[in-house]
């Protein structure tokens, strides 16, 4: 597998509170039984602990190993195990075609009861023994935290029947931190779905190329592919993806649980072509400590952003104002589209509606590029000014390169997708660790703040062999479930497409980024219209990334760059437009 995690800190599998409670009960039982000879081992408890531990660590538990963990005679242990099966606490899944060999797994009932118990034990320990957490727990109780703690998202539970698909589930993804977390958890997901998973990861441009090549094959090499949101229109029009309503009941996905912008972005012509796997808006990351030292307020407007960048720009001290996507082509092209949006205009002539612009009719083909406009000129001039407060080599910086200097303390601000936040949120040596604030893009005059939505959906290739489709649907449902999304976060991901996950207490404790994004979503600041998913969008992005790069290098003026970009975009769109 090709990896493109660009040296990002990899979070080891976190020791969740549930695992901590498991360890505590195991050790406490040992102490009791060692101290008081009259106490016999509690077989039900010992087996439940062993079963849960194996599930969380993706280890196969057999009847023999479970009986051994009970610490009671074989016949007694066998009866206790049968008690748990009869009570619906243990799921038995066939390991062989004959059905004579089984693996054992905690049922949904046992997982749910365990979640409640571990939460109660935590609060009981805090109330009896105090400690640093107690005060926070008391505050959470009075502000609704205890209610949230009582209903956290449970762990993934195994399917009763393993997926039967030759060669296992094959997945094509982007080589970013979230999908790399998924790969790190491969064994656990294999246990959940009951078959092998092979994951292939590419950089963004290579991913698009491979997905398009795969669509030309007689049969897809992949059961599931990750699709960047702007590609949805192109992939739908070219028949790369299967409309999901054709192969599954969409209600199973709980569409209302997804961030509205992320779910809408998965559609083309009113049909969903993928399930949000990452909703990762591009935000302004800023150093709260540096802003406080300089007496600066977090910037809400483009003018305030320039003032802050100027004030914090100290090249002689090795510190610069801001880093952003300015590398020629795709990277800068994204910055251009988002900056024009910051000045209140989309890159296409979309109808204005409450809270943004309407993208629902794009499949009709009646649109044109809007680059050479007054908002376009304001955006171009803003980028020229931003250049003055950027680090050396900014014109070669793209997705990862703009975040590295922020994480190392060399820049005070950076535009970046939330999926890149692990660079500094998981690195205690980073000057930005624990000191980063998150804002939507500051707005130009008369415009509103926007957090342009990026990320990926996971879809099913249109040329997937029909006999593999049911298994692909089931795996897709598991990979994008709230339980899976919470697991990604617990293991280092900083993207999340679901409201329920963002409100989970464990997720809230992992990073302030989730509450910030949730708030932006409720304020209608999360928007995907800055990069409308028309079939020509990749070409438009490339055009803007080339023409504006020439402008930033001083080869052309802002007005010339706008004119050339407009002419090339018009030529690109015109042959494809519906009469």
DSSP 577: S
Tokens of 542: 């490339």
Q: Give the per-residue pLDDT at 132.
A: 42
Distance of CA 442 to the CA centre of its chain: 23
- Which among 467, 237, 449 is positioned nearest to 362, based on CA atoms? 237
* Upper half-sphere CA count for residue 159 (Cβ side, 13 Å): 19
pLDDT tens-place string over residues 211-243 = 999 999 999 999 999 999 999 999 999 999 999
Please state the φ and ψ torsions of residue 533, each to the nearest 5 degrees. Answer: -80, 50
- Which among 279, 186, 181, 183 is positioned nearest to 491, based on CA atoms? 181
Q: Give the per-residue pLDDT at 577.
A: 56
For residue 173, list its beta bridge partners: 201
Answer yes or no: are the C-beta atoms of 226 and 277 closer than 8 Å.
Answer: yes
Q: Give the per-residue pLDDT at 45.
A: 83
**pLDDT mean across residues, the chain:** 87
For residue 413, list its beta bridge partners: 286, 322
Q: Give the per-residue pLDDT at 50.
A: 82
The DSSP string of 138-162 is: HHHHHTTHHHHHHSPPPPP---SS-
Answer yes or no: are the C-beta atoms of 188 and 157 closer than 8 Å.
Answer: no
pLDDT cut 70: percent of the chain above it: 88
Domain ranges of the chain: 40-107, 111-150, 169-279+454-497, 281-447+526-576
Report the CATH number of the 281-447+526-576 domain. 3.40.190.10
* Upper half-sphere CA count for residue 217 (Cβ side, 13 Å): 13
Would you call 192 helix, strand, or coil by DSSP? helix
Q: Give the per-residue pLDDT at 136.
A: 40
Question: What is the average pLDDT across 500-512?
Answer: 89
Q: Give the per-residue pLDDT at 322.
A: 98
Answer yes or no: are the C-beta atoms of 455 and 447 closer than 8 Å.
Answer: no
Tokens of 478: 């598991």
Q: Give the per-residue pLDDT at 40.
A: 74
Tokens of 557: 């003026």
Q: Inform me whether the pLDDT recorded for 6 exceeds 60.
A: no
Tokens of 56: 């969380």
Beta strand pairing status for 411-417 and 356-357? unpaired
Question: What is the average pLDDT across 106-110?
Answer: 81
- Name the packing angle between helices 74-86 and 63-70 (round to 10°): 110
pTM of the model: 0.77
CATH fold for domain 169-279+454-497: D-Maltodextrin-Binding Protein; domain 2 (3.40.190)
- Which among 326, 353, 351, 329 is positioned nearest to 415, based on CA atoms? 326
Rounded to whole angstroms, the Cα distance separating 551 from 384 reads: 8
Domain 169-279+454-497 and domain 281-447+526-576, same fold? Reply is yes
Taken in order 440, 443, 448, 452, the sign of the CA dihedral is negative
Q: Give Cβ neighbours of residue 440 (< 8 Å, ≥ 6 apart).
A: 281, 283, 284, 449, 450, 451, 520, 525
Higher-pLDDT residue of 206 and 58 is 206
Report the CATH number of the 40-107 domain. 1.10.10.10
Q: Of 16-25, 228-237, 288-297, 465-474, which range is least confident?
A: 16-25
* pLDDT class of 84 with cuts at 50, 70, 90: confident
Q: Inform me whether the pLDDT recorded for 395 exceeds 90.
A: yes
């Amino acid at each position: 597998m090709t990896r493109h995690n660009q040296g990002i800190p990899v979070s080891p599998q976190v020791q969740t509170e549930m695992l901590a409670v498991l360890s505590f009960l195991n050790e406490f039982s040992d102490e009791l039984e060692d101290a008081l000879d009259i106490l016999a081992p509690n077989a039900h408890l010992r087996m439940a602990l062993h079963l849960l531990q194996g599930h969380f660590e993706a280890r196969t538990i057999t009847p023999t190993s479970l009986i051994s963990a009970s610490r009671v005679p074989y016949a007694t242990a066998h009866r206790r195990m049968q008690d748990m099966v009869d009570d619906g606490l243990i799921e038995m899944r066939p390991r062989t075609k004959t059905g004579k060999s089984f693996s054992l797994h905690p049922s949904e009932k046992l997982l749910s009861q365990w979640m409640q118990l571990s939460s109660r034990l935590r609060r009981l320990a805090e109330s009896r023994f105090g400690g640093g957490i107690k005060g926070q727990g008391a505050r959470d109780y009075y502000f609704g935290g205890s209610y949230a703690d009582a209903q956290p998202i449970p762990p993934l539970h195994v399917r009763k029947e393993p997926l039967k698909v030759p060669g296992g589930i094959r997945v094509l993804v982007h080589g970013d931190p979230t999908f790399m977390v998924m790969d790190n958890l491969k064994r656990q997901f294999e246990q959940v779905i009951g078959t092998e998973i092979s994951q292939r990861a590419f950089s963004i441009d290579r991913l698009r190329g491979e997905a398009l090549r795969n669509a030309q094959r007689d049969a897809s090499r992949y059961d599931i592919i990750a699709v960047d949101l702007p590609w949805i229109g192109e992939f739908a029009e070219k028949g790369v993806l299967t409309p999901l309503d054709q192969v599954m009941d969409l209600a199973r996905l709980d569409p209302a649980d997804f961030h509205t912008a992320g779910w809408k972005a998965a559609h083309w012509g009113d049909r969903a072509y993928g399930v949000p796997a990452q909703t990762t808006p591009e935000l302004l990351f800023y150093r709260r400590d540096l802003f406080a030292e300089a007496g600066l307020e977090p910037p809400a407007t483009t003018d305030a952003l320039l003032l802050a960048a100027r004030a914090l720009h100290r090249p002689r001290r090795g510190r610069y104002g801001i880093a952003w996507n300015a590398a020629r082509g795709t990277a800068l092209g994204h910055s251009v589209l988002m900056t024009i949006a910051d000045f209140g205009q989309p890159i296409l002539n979309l109808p204005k509606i409450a809270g943004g612009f309407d993208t629902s009719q794009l499949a009709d083909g009646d649109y044109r590029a809007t680059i050479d406009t007054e908002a376009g000129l304001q955006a171009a001039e803003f980028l020229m000014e931003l250049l003055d407060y950027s680090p050396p080599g900014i014109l070669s910086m793209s997705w990862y390169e703009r975040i590295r200097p922020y994480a190392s303390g060399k820049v005070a601000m950076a535009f970046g997708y939330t999926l890149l936040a692990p660079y500094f949120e998981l690195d205690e040596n980073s000057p930005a660790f624990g000191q980063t604030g998150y804002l939507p893009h500051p707005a130009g005059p008369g415009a509103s703040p926007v957090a342009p939505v990026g990320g990926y959906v996971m879809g099913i290739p249109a040329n997937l062999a029909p006999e593999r489709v049911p298994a692909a649907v089931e795996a897709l449902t598991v990979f994008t479930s709230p339980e899976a999304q919470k697991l990604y976060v617990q293991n280092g991901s900083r993207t999340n497409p679901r409201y329920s996950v963002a409100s989970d207490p464990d997720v809230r404790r992992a990073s302030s980024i989730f509450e910030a994004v949730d708030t932006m979503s409720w304020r209608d600041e999360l928007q995907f219209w800055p990069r409308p998913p028309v079939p020509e969008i990749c070409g438009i992005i490339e055009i803007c990334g080339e023409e504006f790069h020439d402008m930033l290098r001083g080869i052309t003026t802002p007005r010339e760059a706008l004119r050339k970009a407009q002419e090339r975009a018009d030529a690109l769109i015109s042959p494809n437009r519906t009469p």
